[in-house]
Structure 1
Amino acid sequence: MLSFWRKLNGKLQQRWIMAVMACLALTNAYTMRISLSLAITEMVASKESSSNDTSSDDTCSSIADSTSSSTSNGGTYEWDEYTQGVILSSFFWGYIVTQIPGGILADKFGGKYTLGLGILSTAIFTLLTPVVVETFDSTGLIVLRVLMGLGEGTTFPALNALIAQWSPPQERSKIGTLVITGTQVGTILGNAVSGVLIEYSSIGWPVVFYVFGGLSVLWFVVWTLLCFSGPDTHPFISDAERKYILDSMNEQTRKHTGPIPWRHMATSAPLWALLVGKFGHDWGFFTMVTDLPLYMSNVLKFSISSNGFLTALPYVAMWILSNLSSVLADWLIKRGKMSTTNVRKAFTTAGSVGPAIFLVAASYAGCDRVLVVTLFVIGMGLMGPFYPGLMVNGVDLSPNFSGTMMAMMTAVGAVDGMLAPYLIGILTPNQTIAEWRTVFWITFVVLLVANLVVLFWVDGEVQYWNDLENHSQDRKDFDHESTPSERNVSLESKAAQNHFEVK
C-alpha cells in the first residue's frame, strides 16, 4: 500500500497538492474564525433600539414572509453591541502575538508543522466553544477566542514560507493566490453553511463549532501525511519536478538563511508600503468579514439562513476575481507586458478603489435589499485583484525571509481585526443605516490613503537585504555612501542589476 501511494504521488505535481492543501488550511482557519460572526446573531437575545430618536428612515422593517423573516434571535445571552464588538475582536488579541514567532519558526524549521499544529490547536478550541460559553458566558468566550488567535497566528507566516519554497517565480501569482484565496472559500462556507446548519439543526448555534472544528482535525491528519516543508525534503516528489522548482528559484532562495536583517528591513520603503497597503485592505476586509452578518441581521432584517447565504455571495465574487486576476497577472509578467512592480501596483489599486466606492454606495441604498446586496457583491468582488497585487509581494521582496514578512503583514492585519469590530460596536449602538454609513466612510478613507502609499513606494523586485551574506559589497556600499541620495541611487542600480541577472 505504501509503495502504491509513493508511486501515485510521484506522478502528481506536488507543488499543486501543497497549494490545494494549503488553501484548505486557510479554508478551515476562516470557517473556525468567522463562524462566530453569524452564530452570535442567534446567541444574543433580541432587543429594541436603545434610541428614542431613531427615525424610520434609519431603520428597515422586517421582511414579512416566513422564508425571509427577521432572525429569530432566540438567544439567551444579554450582550450589548459593545460586548459583541469586544468578543468579535478578541480573536485578534491572541492572533497578533504569535505572528513574528510563527514567521521565525517557519523560516528556520519549515512551514509544515508550524502551520499544522496551529490549525490543530485552533480546532480543539473551536470544539470547546459551546461548553465554554455555557459555563463562563462572555468572559469565557473572550478568553477562548484569544487562545484560538494564538494558535492561528502562525498560519499566514507558515503559508508564506511554504509558497516561497514551492512556487517558481513564473507561477508565484497563481500558486500564491490559490493558497490565499482559501480565506474567501472559508468565508463563503463559514457563512453559507453556518446559516443552514443553525436553522435546521436541532442543537442550534453550537453545531457550527462542532462541524468546523471536526473538519479541521481531519485536515490536519491528511496534511501530515501528504505535505512537506519543501521539495528538497519531500519523499514522493519526482526528480523532474524537484529539479524544476529548485533550479527556477536557485538565484533567489538559499537553504540556510542568516540572521533576519531587521535594520535594513526597518528602513525599506517598499516593505513599509507593503505593510500600509495591507493595513488598508484588511481594514475593509475585516469590517465586512466580522460585521456584515450583523448588518444583514440587525439592519436589513434577514433570517439566519438568508443571512448566511447572502453574506457569502460577496466572497464568491471575490474568490472568482482573485483567481482570474492572478492568471492575468502572471501572463502580464511572463510575457513582459508589465513589470512585476507595475502589476503589483495596478492590481492593488483595483482591489482598493473599487471596494471603497461600492461599500459607501451600499450605505446610501437604504433598505433596498436587492440593491444593497448587489453593491456589496460588486464591492467585495473587486477586492479580488488585491491578492495577486499585494498579498504575494512579500515573496517578491524577500523569498528568504518570506515567513517573517508575512508575519509582519498579518500582524498589521491583526491590528485591523482588533480595532474594526471594536470601533463598529461603539459607532453602531442602535444599528441604524446612518451609523453604518459612518463606518463605511471610514473604510473608504482608509482604503484610498493606503493605496496612495502603495502607488508611490511598492516594489516588485527582490531587495538587497534578502541575501546580505552574498551581497557583502552591497552592504558596504550601503553603509559608506556619502549622502542619502547617493545611497538610494546605488541600491536602485544594484537591485536592477540583480534582477537582470536573475532573469
Structure 2
Amino acid sequence: MVRRKTSDSDEQQNTISDRISFVFEETTFHWSEWDQQIILGSYWAGYLLTLIPSGWLSISLGAKLMSAIAIFLSSSATIALISIYYFENISFLLVVSLRILIGAAHGTLFPVTYTLWSQWAVPNERGTLASIGFSGTNIGTSLAVLVGGLFCRYIDSGWIYTFLLSGILGFIWLPLWLWQVSDAPENHRSISNAEREYIVGIIGKNSQRRSISLSALPWKTIVRSKPIIALFLTETCQLFALFFFLTNFGKILREIQQIPSQYTGYILACGFIFMLVGNISAGIAADNLVRRNFMTLVGVRKLFNSLGSFIPCLCMIVFCFCDEKRRILGVINAILFLLSSGFSYGSGYIVNYADVVPAYAGLIFGIVTTISSFGAVIANIIAGIVIKQPILEDWRKLYILFGIVYLVGGLAFMLWASATPEKWATLESQQEKETIEETVPMKESEPNDIGTRRDEHLYINA
C-alpha cells in the first residue's frame, strides 16, 4: 500500500477524515501546474492524431470494427491508469502516455459514427438518429462529473473507482456492440426486409467495404465547394469558443462570479444535461419540420445551426456584465450557452456532413475537425496572453472576441450551407465509379447521365 499523503491544511484533513477507505488509501501526486496542463493536453494530442486516419479506415475496414477497437483500447488504458497508484516515481510519464492512447482511441469515434450514420440514416430521419447517438457524449460527461465527484469526495482515492467504473462499462458495451451492430442495413441480421429496402432505396446499397485512395479524391473540388467551406468556417468558429469554455467554465464560475467550488460541479453537470436536451430536441424538431413539409432540409440545418451560433454570441455579450453581483444571471447564461450549443449537434453543422458528402462523411469530418481543433488550442494561447489577472475587465476582451467569432461562423453557414449531396460524394456514384473501373480498367469512361439522374431523383425524394 502507498502511504497516505495529505495536505497540512485543517480543512483538507477534515475532508479526508470523512472519507471511506475500502482497498486503496488516499494518495496525493505532487505535480506542478505545468505538469497538470501537460497531462490535460496530452489527451487532445492523441485525439488529433487519429481524426483523419480513422475517417479513412472506417470506410475501408468498417465502422463497426473501428468502434470496437477504439473502445477496447480506451477502456484498457483507462483501467491501466490505476497503475500510477503503485508507480509514483514514474506516475507522470505513465499518465501522459495512457492519456495520449485514450485520446487517440476517442479521436476515432466521431468520424466512425459519421461513416455509420451516412449508411443507416435517411435524410429526413438523420437529425433525430444522429442527435440521439451523439447525446451519449453529454450523458457520459454529466454522469462522470457527478459520480466522479462523489467518489472523490467520500472515498479514499476515489479517482481509482472512477477509472475502474469507466473501463468496466466500456467492456460491458463491447460485446453488445459486436452482437447487435452491422456496417450497413444489408448485413444486419434482425432488421426487417421492409426497413432494409426503405433505407437502401433512399441511401443506396453499400454492403461492400471500399479501399479509398486519398490521392484519388477530387481535392480541388473539395476545397472550392461552398458547402464544405461553410462547414469548415462554422466548425472552426464554434470549436474555437466551445472547447475553450468547456474547459474554463469552472474557472469562470469560481473566479469571476465567486461561486463556491463545491457547487460548480453541480452547475456544470446541469449545463451538460441541458446541452443534451438541446441536442435531442433539435434533431427531433428538425426531422418533424421536414417530414411535415414546413421547412426544407437545408432550411432546418441553417435554422438550428444559427441558433447554435447566434445565441452563444448573445451569451458572450451577457457574460460581459456577469460578476459576483450578478452570479445568478451568470449561471443562467452559462446553462443557456450549453443548451444552445446542443442545437448545432442536433441538426446543425455536425449532422450536415452526412447530407453533403455521405460517401466520405467520416473522412471529411476528420480532416475539417483536425484543422478546426487547432483553433481551440489557439484560443487558450490567446487567453493566456489577454488575461493578466482573474477580473471581469480582462475576461470582457475574450467575451467580445468569442462573440465576433460565433457571429462569423453563423453567417458563413447561413450564406453557403447546403443539404444536397455533392455528386462526387454520393454512395451510388462511388459504387458506379468502382464498377466502371473494374469492368473497363484502362479505358476512360463516358459521363454516366443515368447514374447522375438517379442520384438526383433519390435525394429529391428524400
TM range (shorter): 0.7 to 0.9
- Alignment correspondent of 1:169: 123
Preserved CA contact (<8 Å) 1:399 1:466: yes
Aligned residue type for 1:77: H
Task: Find the partner of 2:32 among 72, 75, 79.
Answer: 79
Distance change (3 Å), C-alpha of 1:418 and 1:215 = farther
Counterpart CA distance in 2 for 1:317 and 1:208 is 23
Counterpart CA distance in 2 for 1:200 and 1:154 is 34
* 1:273 equivalenced with 2:230 (yes/no): yes
Q: Report which stretch shifted further, 426-435 or 231-240.
A: 426-435
Aligned residue type for 1:277: T
Counterpart CA distance in 2 for 1:83 and 1:363 is 32
The percentage of counterpart residues that share the same residue type is 24
Preserved CA contact (<8 Å) 1:44 1:79: no
* 1:323 equivalenced with 2:275 (yes/no): no
Q: Give the TM-score normalised by structure 1.
A: 0.74
Instruction: Give CA deviations for 1:230-280 in whole Å, capped at 9, x if unaligned.
Output: 2211222232322222223228x6856565524232322211211221112
Counterpart CA distance in 1 for 2:190 and 2:262 is 44
Distance change (3 Å), C-alpha of 1:360 and 1:144 = farther
Instruction: Give CA deviations for 1:413-463 in whole Å, capped at 9, x if unaligned.
Output: 432444444554555564444444333333222211122221221111111
Preserved CA contact (<8 Å) 2:42 2:99: yes
Residue pairs, 1:117-136, within 5 angstroms? 117-132=69-84, 134-136=88-90
Q: CA deviation at 1:200?
A: 1.5
Instruction: Give CA deviations for 1:279-299 in whole Å, capped at 9, x if unaligned.
Output: 122223212222223334455
Q: Report which stretch shifted further, 460-469 or 267-276.
A: 460-469
Preserved CA contact (<8 Å) 1:107 1:402: no
Counterpart CA distance in 2 for 1:297 and 1:75 is 23
Distance change (3 Å), C-alpha of 1:444 and 1:84 = farther
Instruction: Give CA deviations for 1:61-109 in whole Å, capped at 9, x if unaligned.
Output: xxxxx9xxxxxxx9653533x5544433322212111111101111122
Q: CA deviation at 1:466?
A: 1.0
Q: Give the TM-score normalised by structure 2.
A: 0.80
Q: CA deviation at 1:352?
A: 0.8
- Alignment correspondent of 2:250: 293
Preserved CA contact (<8 Å) 2:311 2:340: yes
Preserved CA contact (<8 Å) 2:420 2:459: no
Residue pairs, 1:30-429, within 5 angstroms? 76-80=29-33, 83-132=35-84, 134-250=88-204, 255=208, 259=213, 261-263=217-219, 264-300=221-257, 302=259, 305-367=262-324, 368-387=326-345, 388-425=347-384, 427-428=386-387
Aligned residue type for 1:385: F
Q: CA deviation at 1:359?
A: 3.7
Instruction: Give CA deviations for 1:40-63 in whole Å, capped at 9, x if unaligned.
Output: xxx99899xxxxxxxxxxxxxxxx
Distance change (3 Å), C-alpha of 1:330 and 1:96 = same
Counterpart CA distance in 2 for 1:194 and 1:155 is 23
Counterpart CA distance in 2 for 1:149 and 1:413 is 17
Aligned residue type for 2:348: G
For structure 2, the 5+ residue unaligned runs are: 10-14, 16-26, 434-451
Counterpart CA distance in 1 for 2:8 and 2:218 is 50
Aligned residue type for 1:159: T
Q: CA deviation at 1:313?
A: 1.6
Counterpart CA distance in 1 for 2:8 and 2:330 is 23
Preserved CA contact (<8 Å) 1:132 1:141: yes
Aligned residue type for 1:397: V
Instruction: Give CA deviations for 1:372-403 in whole Å, capped at 9, x if unaligned.
Output: 21110112111122120111100001211122
Counterpart CA distance in 1 for 2:8 and 2:231 is 42
Preserved CA contact (<8 Å) 1:427 1:435: yes
For structure 1, the 5+ residue unaligned runs are: 1-42, 48-65, 67-73, 473-492
- SS for the counterpart of 2:187 is coil
Residues paired across the two proteins, number: 415
Preserved CA contact (<8 Å) 2:227 2:417: yes
Q: CA deviation at 1:407?
A: 1.6
Counterpart CA distance in 1 for 2:72 and 2:395 is 36
- SS for the counterpart of 1:400 is helix
- SS for the counterpart of 2:176 is helix
Instruction: Give CA deviations for 1:94-146 in whole Å, capped at 9, x if unaligned.
Output: 21111111011111222112012112212222223343484435454333322
Counterpart CA distance in 2 for 1:311 and 1:266 is 38
